[in-house]
Amino acid sequence: MKKLKVLIFISIMPLAYSQTGQVGINTTAPTATLDVNGNTRIRKVDSIASAPKYILTSDDNGIVQKVNVEKLSDSNPEVIRRKIYAVLSKNSSQFLTTKGTDYNLTYDGVVSGINTDHLSFNSQKDRINLPPNKTFKITGYIGIKGSTTGNSNTTPGYITSLFSAGGDAEAIVTTQGYTESSTETFDDGGVTPPIIIVTTGSAGNAYVELKVRYGGSNAGNSGYYVSGASTRTSVGTYVLLEEL
């Protein structure tokens, strides 16, 4: 009888065991119950007749966890609280010196909301620095103090506003805003707010600015004011930022 020779190939990868019972493959310092330093593969994947309740996913550190699919819904309160929602307020009114000239809206008031520590400003506080790999909807609410000599006057005019994205931010949708002043010596609010939907890249240098300018045939040539903080009796200026 002929003898059959069987060749068995075994791929040996270094294994390590920690004193706490952790096992490492291709690593000598495991930090999880099973720590694989490399790719893993499952050869057979059967189709699932109904949607699974749980899936396996990993966090930023590669830790694999079982996650309830229902908790991944955007309507889930816990998911929403992990996103960035912020109101960026103005405190003082902002003087726009020259008619028909773009100025960046400044944010010198309170920043309120959740996860606002992921946002920052430049030194002039007229540029919103956004975190990478996210999508935002940002809406501006512009108040106006119609004036050429002070913070309230009967000289009518209007302010137009438009968001501008920079760095590796990409504007998906952007609209122009329009705000009219009152002719009865009172402050006034916006007619249409400016809106931008923007995605940020991985470089970490994405930012958004809100450009404002004043004009109108009846507007004076010695300046106009964007309102500051709102009160019960006066209009204010602020920006609402929502992570989608």
- Read off the pTM: 0.69
Say which range, 56-65, 143-152, 156-165, 227-236, has the weakest mean pLDDT.
143-152
Instruction: Give tens-digit pLDDT for 52-110.
Output: 667 777 777 778 777 776 666 666 666 677 899 999 999 999 999 888 999 999 999 99
Provide the token pair at 109: 């008031």
- Residue 78 per-residue DSSP state: H
- Residue 141 per-residue DSSP state: E
pLDDT score, position 104: 98
DSSP string, 5-36: P---------EEE-TTS-EEES-SS--SSEEE
pLDDT score, position 10: 54
Confidence of residue 158 (pLDDT cuts 50, 70, 90): confident
pLDDT score, position 199: 98
pLDDT score, position 209: 98
Inform me whether the pLDDT recorded for 140 exceeds 70. Answer: yes
* CA dihedral (105, 109, 112, 116) positive or negative: positive
Q: What percent of the chain has pLDDT over 90?
A: 42
Say which range, 31-40, 145-154, 172-181, has the weakest mean pLDDT.
145-154
Confidence of residue 237 (pLDDT cuts 50, 70, 90): very high
pLDDT score, position 76: 65
Distance linking the first and last C-alpha atoms of the chain: 72
Instruction: Give tens-digit pLDDT for 4-56.
Output: 666 555 555 677 777 777 888 888 888 888 888 877 777 766 666 666 667 77
Confidence of residue 183 (pLDDT cuts 50, 70, 90): low
d(Cα 125, Cα 140) in Å, to the nearest integer? Answer: 16
Say which range, 1-15, 28-42, 113-127, 158-172, has the weakest mean pLDDT.
1-15
d(Cα 211, Cα 106) in Å, to the nearest integer? Answer: 10
